[in-house]
């Protein structure tokens, strides 16, 4: 059996090793972990991974930073993220609890890297429920750290907690937590970040969380409650500075009326698509469709459609408009999720969508 070359640096990765040797060794592993082959090599040596995990808390901040960067690269790989869940740091039950402790430590430099690792790991759908046992006791504290922009005193912005929350919201347990008093409704704290122009990562994660909630019709009445004002947050990014006739303007949510001339639409196509997907899902039930009509969503989408150039976004927009312009007797069902679509019709609709996308490209 070939000798593992990484065995030669294990001694230099121990906490008590000489600082210069630790620094050089971890720096080497940062470079190694930047490639898929390098990650595979690292994953074969459990002791190296274990030592790197321990070095994320090294008293020399540059060493701790580089150890975290190694784990960022490893966790970006699906197999790497899965493998990390098997390790147990010296003072914690698992890697997740170690990383959460870094996020919640306002004096932890490079806590952003810990957020990125958590975001990567929570993308693992098959492991999500297992991860929740480590997250749930700390969710309120993590959310409070996230919404407090100045929480970290060492320059970390914690933006990547947003996609982490989005990933977690694929679980029913998290959707339940997001929508219940605990002691305050958590999703209310996230909603302002749907319009957070300083970071598309925060904005995308917040909107992704709302989108995941919208996939569960159980929460539609909650989401469209007037007190939540969700449509204001969802529509704002896809609105420009158009003038609407008075009768249309009066239908829009109050905070979206008479927007300033410098107002511009969201430039991130993925965020725009998530908003359209969310609006589409909110059309599933009759009460949702009526709420969207009453709040002038059709008028916003009409103007948005004139501006949009992306074929998939245009199709997504038209799918919502097609529902909103119909009268309820034409829609034919209070809850569209209960309508059984024959397989041959599904194929027909898919073919029509492909032909549309081909025609507008």
Overall size of the chain counted in residues: 361
Report residue 5's pLDDT band, with 50, 70 and 90 as the boundaries.
confident
Instruction: Give the model confidence (pLDDT) of 256-268 as tens digits.
Output: 999 999 999 999 9
Q: What is the mean pLDDT of residues 77-86?
A: 97
Residue 332: what pLDDT? 77
Residue 113: what pLDDT? 98
Decide if pLDDT at 359 tops 80.
no
Count of CB atoms situated within 10 Å of the CB of 149: 13
Decide if pLDDT at 347 tops 80.
no
Instruction: Give the model confidence (pLDDT) of 198-250 as tens digits.
Output: 999 999 999 999 999 999 999 999 999 988 999 999 999 999 999 999 999 99
Q: How far apart are CA 303 and CA 60, in angstroms?
A: 55
Domain ranges, ordered by start, for the chain:
226-361
Q: Do residues 201 and 160 touch, judged by C-beta distance below 8 A? A: yes
Identify the residue with better confidence: 330 or 50: 50
The Cα-based distances of 275 to 43, 66, 128, 187, 345 in angstroms read: 38, 36, 24, 16, 26
Residue 3: what pLDDT? 63
Decide if pLDDT at 1 tops 50.
no
Residue 177: what pLDDT? 96
Residue 345: what pLDDT? 46
């Amino acid at each position: 059996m070939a000798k593992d070359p990484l065995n030669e640096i294990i001694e230099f990765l121990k906490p008590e090793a000489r600082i210069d040797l630790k620094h050089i060794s971890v720096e080497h592993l940062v470079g190694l972990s930047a490639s898929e082959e390098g990650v595979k090599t690292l994953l074969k040596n459990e002791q190296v991974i274990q030592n790197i995990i321990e070095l994320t808390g090294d008293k020399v901040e540059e060493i701790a930073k580089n150890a975290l960067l190694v784990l960022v690269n490893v966790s970006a790989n699906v197999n790497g993220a899965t493998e990390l869940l098997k390790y147990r740091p010296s003072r914690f039950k698992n890697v997740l609890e170690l990383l959460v402790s870094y996020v919640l430590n306002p004096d932890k430099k490079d806590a952003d890297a810990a957020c990125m690792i958590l975001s990567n790991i929570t993308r693992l759908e098959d492991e999500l429920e297992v991860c929740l046992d480590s997250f749930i006791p700390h969710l309120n504290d993590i959310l409070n750290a996230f919404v407090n922009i100045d929480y970290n005193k060492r320059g970390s912005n914690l933006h990547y907690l947003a996609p982490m929350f989005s990933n977690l919201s694929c679980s029913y347990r998290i959707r339940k937590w997001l929508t219940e008093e605990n002691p305050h409704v958590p999703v209310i704290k996230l909603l302002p970040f749907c319009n957070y122009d300083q970071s598309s990562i925060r904005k995308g994660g917040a909107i992704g969380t709302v989108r995941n909630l919208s996939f569960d019709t159980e929460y539609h009445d909650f989401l469209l409650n007037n007190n939540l004002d969700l449509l204001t947050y969802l529509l704002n990014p896809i609105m420009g500075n158009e003038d609407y006739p008075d009768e249309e303007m009066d239908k829009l949510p109050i905070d979206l009326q008479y927007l300033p001339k410098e107002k511009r639409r969201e430039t991130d196509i993925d965020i725009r698509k998530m908003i359209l997907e969310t609006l589409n899902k909110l059309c599933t039930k009759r009460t949702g469709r009526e709420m969207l009509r009453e709040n002038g969503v059709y008028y916003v989408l009409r103007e948005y459609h004139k501006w949009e150039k992306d074929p998939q976004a245009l199709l997504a927009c038209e799918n919502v408009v097609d529902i909103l312009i119909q009268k309820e007797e034409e829609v034919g069902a209070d809850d569209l999720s209960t309508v059984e679509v024959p397989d041959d019709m599904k194929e027909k609709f898919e073919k029509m969508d492909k032909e549309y996308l081909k025609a507008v490209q």
